[in-house]
A and B are shown apart, each in its own frame.
Chain A
Amino acid sequence: MPDVTKTDVKTGRVDPVGGAPEVTATVTKPEKTRSLWGDAWADLRRSWIFIVSSVMIFFLLLITFFPGWFTSAQPILGDLSKHYLQKPKLGDVGSADWLGYDQQGRSVYARVIYGTRASVAVGFGTTILVTVVGSLVGMIAGYFGGLVDSILSRLTDVFFGIPFLLGTMVVLNSFPERTTWVVIGALGFFGWTQISRVMRGAVITTKQADYVQAAKALGASTPRIMFRHILPNTMAPVIVVATISLGVYIAAEATLSFLGLGLSGVSWGNDISDGGASIRVAQWIMLYPSIMLSITVLAFIMLGEAVRNALDPKMR
């Protein structure tokens, strides 16, 4: 954690999205030199996109872990007397009725709340899997070079060459019961290539650095050089890609559910797909899960943007 310098209080103007190069915040010289991560953290705390997206993600996590705090209705309890033509009572915020009912008389609000868990679990699970596998493959390819690199790079090309959505569809189609783990596995199976490419590039530039040569000269073991010296200095681009792709995986899971190949059980994608059938008479069945889904994806993509603005040295 960096020291809180006086300048942190001053709100430097930070470009909301994309990060324009010329509007770097004016920071007076800190008393202590900070690391890349310290600088990034100081930048992040002043960025309003970071604050907004963090608050959104905090709420999503609350809903994920404690859905009972937000609704007393059950997502799988259908009450056919609450027919789906019964319009939502939007004034009655928070009750089971306020977002209306679906075709089977289940509360749309309860389903939106309980559906959060599926999306967040798939998003985080896939991102962690992809980051670990992709970083390892990319690190080995970049560090050893030569034949190892050629083989691993062609392997990456093979997985990258198959369209992502198509590949996951083929894998998921073979599972009758698609649990969270199965979906994470299928998305991860085709998703690791991007991180691996980014990591390989970063390792190739980093391994030339003096401190790596120094560590080698001092006789440090290969795993030590890789994990103690190279890894911390190549994580920045990987983290940026990983945060942005978290939102992308949530959208991908919903798309698969829409095609009938996603998670079995309560999920936004399934609800949106079901709601599409009644779109002429009852738009709310589809609308509210869609809004929640878009907000969630937006939150993670914004977080990724904020992290990139803070970590990308070009933006300094």
Chain B
Amino acid sequence: MGRYVARRLLQMIPVFIGTTLLIFLMVYALPGDPVRGLFGDKAGSPQVIAALRHEYGLDQPILVQYWNYMKDMILHGDFGTQIASGRPVTDVLGDAFPVTMRLASLAFAIEVVLGIALGVLAGLRAGRLTDNVILLITLLFISVPVFVLGFIAKLVFAEQLKWLDPNVSDSTNYGQLLMPAIVLATASLAYVTRLTRTSIAENRRADYIRTAIAKGLPKSRVVGVHLMRNSMIPVITYLGTDIGALMGGAVVTEGLFNIQGVGGTIYESLVRREGTTLVGLVTILVLIYLAANLIVDLLYAVLDPRIRYA
């Protein structure tokens, strides 16, 4: 187990370097200049621009810039300075990340609880009416894009029924975050339901389930422990990769509901060509993604005793 974790952590290093380098190259290879952007439509004196570019290290070759950036990030936890505001990127991230984390974890909780519950229900009634109704609803959820769903939710629940506020004014208020979180969660929820359902329906007739029933175990234990535990592997795999997607998908949801999180910051730094902020944000997302994947792989052994790591 320990050796497996060590090997996995070592494998993460090239992926981490590759991902950050790719995003760095993409951002810096693009046309546009954040320093020039500071001056708006005025030209700005060439000396000032050159001095600023030098100050931010933008006049160096791109690989040197990458090296310096990574060195500062890893050794000092310094993500550079946001050019437009002059604030350290770590401050900007510190403001935005907790907001998105709250939104994404609420969405994740909804997705896990509701998705697995519906999936188990459908899987146990495979082929019957309940199953078909649930599958039809999930198909609809997958087909309607998040932003359409967001508009509809706002129109119906905020404008017409007036149950909820259309925009989030206080991002620590979970009541206000509920609607955006549901909207963010729907598509993933549908996938979780479908995966759970297929897995449950397949495993329902496995030998170990027959054994458990033959031993006279109560139905709740057969389903809750024997069936669930073994059926969760594909679901957990999906959930692991979905954490990154939820954080990325927050760009749309946050824009729709006026939430000041990572999504808005990403969009703003993209438009302003703020490479440092963008790379910082994506780096953290990649770290979250890699950590989630490792946890998922370790959970396999917990869930299915037949899986062992050497």
- A161 near B19 with CB under 8 A, answer yes
Knowing A154-B15, A158-B15, A169-B270, the reply to whether A20 touches B131 (Cβ < 8 A) is yes
Contact yes or no, B15 A169, CB < 8 A? no
| B151 x A286 contact (CB < 8 A) | yes
- The contact string, 1 if C-beta is below 8 Å from chain B, for chain A 154-188, is 11011101111111011101100000000000000
Q: Are A259 and B23 in contact (CB under 8 A)?
A: no
Provide the bound-state CA to CA distance between A161 and B159, in Å: 38
B282 within 8 A of A: yes
Q: A15-B127, A166-B248, A174-B31 are in contact. Are A297 and B22 (CB under 8 A)?
A: no
Assess whether B148 is in contact with A294, with CB atoms less than 8 Å apart.
yes
* Residues of chain B from 76 to 131 with CB closer than 8 A to chain A in the complex: 122, 126-127, 131
Q: Does A95 count as interface, using CB distance less than 8 angstroms? A: no
Per-position 1/0 for A265-276, Cβ under 8 A of B: 000000011001
Question: A20-B131, A162-B23, A272-B148 given as contacts; is B30 within 8 A of A174 (CB)?
Answer: yes
B126:A255 contact, CB within 8 angstroms = no
Give per-residue flags for A51-63: 1 if the beta carbon is below 8 A from chain B beta carbons, else 0: 0000000000000
Contact indicator A162/B19 (Cβ below 8 Å): yes
Q: Is A293 among interface residues, defined by CB-CB distance under 8 A?
A: yes
Q: Which of the residues A16, A21, A174, A258 comes within 8 Å of B147, measured between beta carbons? A: A258
In the docked arrangement, what's the CA distance between A21 and B248, Å? 35
Q: Which residues of B contact A23 (CB under 8 A)?
A: 127
Is B62 an interface residue when CB atoms closer than 8 A count as contact?
no
A161 in contact with B26 (CB, 8 Å): no
Q: Nearest Cβ distance between residue A14 and chain B, in whole angstroms?
A: 11
Name the CB-closest residue of B to A159. Answer: B22
A272 CB to nearest B CB, Å? 6
Q: Which residues 245-304 of A sit at the B interface, judged by CB distance below 8 A?
A: 247, 251, 254-255, 258-259, 272-273, 276, 279-280, 283, 286, 290, 293-295, 297-298, 301-302
Closest beta carbon of chain A to B239's beta carbon, Å: 15
Q: Which residues of A contact B286 (CB under 8 A)?
A: 161-162
Return A304 CB to nearest CB of chain B, in Å.
10
Interface 0/1 of B164-175, CB less than 8 Å to A? 000000000000
Interface size classification for chain B: 35 or more
| Interfacial chain A residues near B132, Cβ < 8 Å | 15-17
Contacts of B177 in A (CB 8 A): none
Q: Indicate with 1 or 0, residue by residue over B233-272, a CB within 8 angstroms of chain A CB atoms.
A: 0000000000011011101100100000000001100110
Quote the shortest CB–CB distance from A116 to chain B (angstroms): 16
CA distance A54 to B26 in the complex (A): 39
Contact with A along B17-34 (1 / 0, CB 8 A): 011001100110111100
Q: Is B127 touching A20 in the complex (CB atoms < 8 A)? A: yes
Kindly list chain B residues whose C-beta atoms are within 8 Å of the C-beta of A16: 132, 135-136
Q: Is the CB of A157 within 8 A of B201?
A: no
**Residues B202 and A21 in contact, CB atoms below 8 Å apart:** yes
* B278, CB-defined interface residue at 8 Å: yes
A163 in contact with B18 (CB, 8 Å): no
Q: Is the CB of B148 within 8 A of A170?
A: no
Complex CA gap A294/B23 in Å reads 32
Asked whether B252 lies within 8 Å of A297 as measured between CB atoms, the reply is no
| Number of interface residues, chain A, beta carbon within 8 A | 48
Of all chain A residues, the one with the shortest Cβ separation from B248 is A163
Complex: A159 Cα to B202 Cα, angstroms: 32
Within 8 A of B (CB), among A208-256: 247, 251, 254-255
Q: With CB as the reference atom, state the residue of chain B lying closest to A165.
A: B248
Contact yes or no, B251 A169, CB < 8 A: yes
Q: Is the CB of A301 within 8 A of B252?
A: no
Q: Among the listed B14, B127, B154, B245, which residue makes an inter-chain contact with A22, where contact means beta carbons less than 8 Å apart? A: B127
- Bound together, the chains give a CA A131 to CA B207 distance in angstroms of 38
B139–A17 contact, CB under 8 A?
yes
A-contact bits for B270-310, CB 8 A (1 contact / 0 none): 11000000100010011001100000000000000000000
Q: CA A16 – CA B249 in complex, angstroms?
A: 30
A18 within 8 A of B: yes
- Contact A20:B201 (CB < 8 A) given known A166-B251, A166-B282: yes
- A-B CB proximity, top 4 nearest: A163-B248, A158-B18, A174-B30, A20-B127
27 contacts between A and B (CB under 8 A): A15-B127, A17-B135, A18-B131, A18-B135, A21-B201, A21-B205, A23-B127, A154-B15, A161-B15, A161-B244, A161-B289, A162-B19, A162-B23, A163-B244, A163-B247, A165-B248, A169-B251, A170-B23, A174-B32, A251-B143, A251-B145, A254-B147, A255-B252, A259-B251, A290-B148, A294-B144, A298-B143
Q: Chain A residues in contact with chain B, CB under 8 A?
A: 15-18, 20-23, 154-155, 157-159, 161-167, 169-171, 173-174, 247, 251, 254-255, 258-259, 272-273, 276, 279-280, 283, 286, 290, 293-295, 297-298, 301-302, 305, 314
Given contacts A290-B148, A298-B140, 16 further A-B contacts (CB under 8 A): A15-B132, A17-B135, A20-B127, A20-B201, A21-B202, A158-B15, A163-B289, A169-B267, A169-B270, A251-B143, A259-B267, A280-B159, A290-B144, A290-B152, A295-B143, A301-B143
